[in-house]
Amino acid sequence: MSIEAAFRAASLSCHDCTCPHSAQIDRGSLITGDTLPRRSYCTGVACLVDPSDVAYKDPERQRAYGREWMKRNPERAREAMRRWRARNPELRRERNRRYKRAAQLRNPDKINAQKAAYHAAHPEYKRANDQAYRARRMAAVGSFTAAEWLALLARWGNVCAYRGEPGPLEPDHRVPLARGGTNYIDNILPACRNCNASKHMMTEEEFRARLAEEDDANTTRDGRMSDEEPSAG
């Protein structure tokens, strides 16, 4: 029996065996890549309680052992997971996606309620996600996070970048996605609903020029109305 086979069957062997088949197995290194104190595990078939029942061929027993090991070694387990995540970012994201899809299929009502509650409490995340979805549909490059959106709001004092109005603000693209703009945060401004809808397909420069023209026209109209008012007396 190989050292690896002995490791898989270690839970069924007599650890203090002194038979000629005794061997040293670094149990921890096979799980986490770490170096743990080496212990003696018998590799003799005669010493196994049930040679046909190899524990680590059973996924459930393998997972149970892993859970127990993590309970006994929480700091080492966390460090091992940090290293694994750093080495496997794409695999980590794919596993997260599979987990979320499986959870959605198992209990859709519960998951939808959790999502609705979270989005209600954190509207900035929904806005970032909505813009990312829209950008993907339009094949635009870039994305921004909820944290970047919150930082942008703070930089503008939580008011509309065009008219300075407070209230609910929406991400507006300085250069629209349909005109080749990106979805990176440096192409985003906070805008009130009226400005965002009025700007439509204009760039920031074009929209600000239009606002300036409207302000000039309003100022001229107000001046005329003031001149036309009859004087008192």
Distance of alpha carbon 144 from alpha carbon 98, whole angstroms: 23
Bigger pLDDT: 208 or 33?
Answer: 208
User: Tell me, what's the pLDDT at 175?
Assistant: 95
Mean of the per-residue pLDDT values for the chain? 77
- Specify the long-range contacts of residues 51-55, CB closer than 8 Å, at least 24 apart: 51/9, 53/12, 54/5, 54/8, 54/9, 54/12, 55/8, 55/9, 55/10, 55/11, 55/12
The pTM for the full model equals 0.49
Q: How far is CA 154 from CA 90, 121, 150, 158, in A?
A: 32, 18, 6, 6
Confidence check: pLDDT of 9 > 60: no
Q: What is the mean pLDDT of residues 52-81?
A: 81
User: Tell me, what's the pLDDT at 10?
Assistant: 45
Task: State what percent of residues in the chain have pLDDT above 70.
Answer: 70
Confidence check: pLDDT of 4 > 80: no
Confidence check: pLDDT of 45 > 60: no
Beta strands 39-42; 22-25: pairing state? antiparallel
User: Tell me, what's the pLDDT at 225?
Assistant: 62
Q: With cut-offs at 50, 70 and 90, classify the pLDDT of residue 229.
A: low
E-state strands within the chain: 22-25, 39-42, 169-173, 188-192
Q: What is the pLDDT of residues 68-127, one digit of tens each?
A: 888 999 999 999 889 988 999 889 889 988 998 999 899 999 988 988 888 788 887 788
Residues in a beta bridge with 24:
40
Task: Classify residue 111 as exposed, middle or buried by CB count within 10 Å of its CB (0-12, 13-18, 19+).
Answer: middle
